[in-house]
């Protein structure tokens, strides 16, 4: 059935520094049907920073060209929007311009029926306006809780898209009940992991990057972007408490971190290619998830949790409902002292104790399997929609 369809996929910035579930799902969908990946605009208004300005110019340049082929069954395009959504006339302009631009871009999908697939809520005003036969909302976060966004506008967009979609997939368990109340066709679909890729952290043939070689041990590692929801003060406190340890942070720093830069035992490696993360993780003696406790984190489903476990490395984390599901293989910490005690315990145990159990905990949770499960649900819902339409066409 699915071979009759093409997907118009509204995801995070395709060229973002980190790979998100948006990227993982889209590339695997393309193994089953053609995908037009549409860069969604950011949820927050752009700042006057060099990074935001470069990104804005790049998006404008890309918007002026035809969709670019990424792979055999996969195209990428950009449809920019004005970010000032509360100004009268801006929402109407965004809708009309986006509809016009997307109808042109969708020609790459040929004559197939279309499925609109949203991973972020703010382009959701386009749902049901593109001539699609079916609409999917793949909700991976509590978007209105993100720092710097217009929470009221994003929450309204999220609710409207949830109610408009034919089927909703929810990754964070804490959001499931709310979404099911808003749309009965809601399914739980937690994140997956590229288990084969991250298993390379335990492969003797994997070479540790030069910056991570010969660091004074033990090495406490983190990979992922450093945003407002990362407890930088906790990391700094841990580093000051154990100056003989090295804290290796791999990822783009979206916020200023002068307190970390000032510490001699903290190494900021910056953004690194996704495929290189297992090589960095090979240098870790333990991995950390140092979240702040807030609404966003409470409703989060961290990709790095499964990626860490797939490396086999011991993990110490601040808890939330999703992390709690892995309590048997993750040391969950409550407060600074407990976080430090957790690190000391896993270091005393050694990196190999429990490694097999950690890897086994996520071995069957691959992205390939997740997408296959999601597509089975979509196919079932499509069959129901087709039957309903057929019944409506039968004269009474």
The pairing of strands 331-333 and 68-71 is unpaired
Write out pLDDT tens, residues 202-252: 999 999 999 999 999 899 999 999 999 999 999 999 999 999 999 999 999
Write out pLDDT tens, residues 246-292: 999 999 998 999 999 999 999 999 999 999 999 999 999 999 999 99
What is the average pLDDT across 293-299?
A: 89
Give the C-alpha separation, 23 to 14, whole Å: 7
When the pLDDT of each residue in the chain is averaged and rounded to a whole number, the result is 89
Residues pairing with 391 in the sheet: none
Of 152-166, 196-210, 381-395, which gets the smallest average pLDDT?
381-395
* Domains delineated in the chain: 2-192+366-393 (3.40.50.2000), 195-361 (3.40.50.2000)
- From residue 158, alpha-carbon distances to 23, 84, 178, 300, 355 in Å are 20, 17, 12, 16, 39
Tell me if 291 sits within 8 A of 231, measured CB to CB: yes
Only one residue has tokens 């599901």, namely 325
pLDDT bin (cut points 50, 70, 90) of residue 55 is: low
Which pair of structure tokens corresponds to residue 299?
Answer: 């409703």
Of 29-38, 104-113, 327-336, which gets the smallest average pLDDT?
104-113
Task: Count Cβ atoms below 10 Å from residue 217 Cβ, excluding itself.
Answer: 12
pLDDT for residue 391 is more than 60:
no
Q: Phi and psi for 234 in degrees, rounded to 5?
A: -65, -45
The predicted pLDDT at position 91 comes to: 73
pLDDT bin (cut points 50, 70, 90) of residue 23 is: very high
């Amino acid at each position: 059935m699915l071979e009759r369809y093409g997907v118009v996929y509204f995801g995070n910035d395709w060229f973002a520094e980190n790979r998100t579930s948006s990227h993982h799902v889209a590339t695997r969908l393309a193994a089953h049907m053609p995908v037009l990946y549409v860069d969604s605009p950011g949820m927050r208004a752009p700042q006057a920073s060099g990074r935001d300005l470069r990104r804005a110019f790049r998006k404008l340049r890309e918007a002026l060209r035809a969709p670019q082929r990424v792979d055999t069954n996969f195209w990428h395009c950009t449809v920019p929007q004005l970010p000032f959504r509360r100004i009268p006339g801006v929402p109407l302009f965004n809708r009309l311009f986006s509809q016009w631009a997307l109808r042109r871009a969708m020609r790459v999908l040929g004559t197939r029926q279309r499925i609109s697939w949203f991973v972020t809520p703010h382009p959701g005003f386009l749902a049901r306006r593109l001539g699609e036969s079916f609409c999917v909302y793949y909700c991976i976060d509590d978007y209105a809780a993100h720092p710097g966004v217009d929470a009221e506008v994003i929450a309204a967009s999220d609710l409207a898209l949830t109610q408009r979609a034919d089927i909703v997939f929810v990754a964070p368990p804490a959001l499931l009940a709310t979404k099911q109340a808003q749309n009965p066709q809601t399914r739980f679909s937690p994140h997956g992991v590229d288990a084969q890729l991250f298993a390379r952290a335990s492969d003797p043939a994997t070479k540790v990057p030069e910056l991570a070689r010969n660091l004074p041990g033990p090495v406490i590692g983190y990979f992922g972007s450093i945003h407002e929801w990362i407890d930088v003060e906790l990391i700094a406190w841990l580093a000051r408490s154990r100056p003989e340890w090295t804290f290796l942070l791999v990822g783009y720093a979206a916020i200023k971190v002068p307190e970390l830069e000032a510490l001699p035992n903290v190494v900021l490696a910056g953004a690194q290619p996704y495929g290189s993360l297992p090589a960095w993780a090979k240098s870790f003696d333990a991995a950390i998830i140092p979240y702040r406790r807030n609404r966003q984190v409470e409703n989060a489903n961290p990709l790095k949790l499964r990626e860490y476990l797939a490396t086999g490395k011991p993990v110490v984390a601040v808890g939330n409902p999703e992390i709690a599901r892995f309590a048997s293989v993750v040391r969950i910490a409550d407060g600074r002292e407990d976080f430090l005690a957790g690190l000391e315990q896993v270091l005393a145990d050694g990196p190999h104790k429990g490694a097999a159990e950690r890897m086994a905990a996520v071995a069957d949770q691959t992205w390939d399997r997740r997408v296959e499960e999601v597509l089975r649900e979509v196919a079932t819902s499509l069959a129901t929609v087709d039957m309903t339409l057929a019944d409506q066409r039968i004269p009474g």
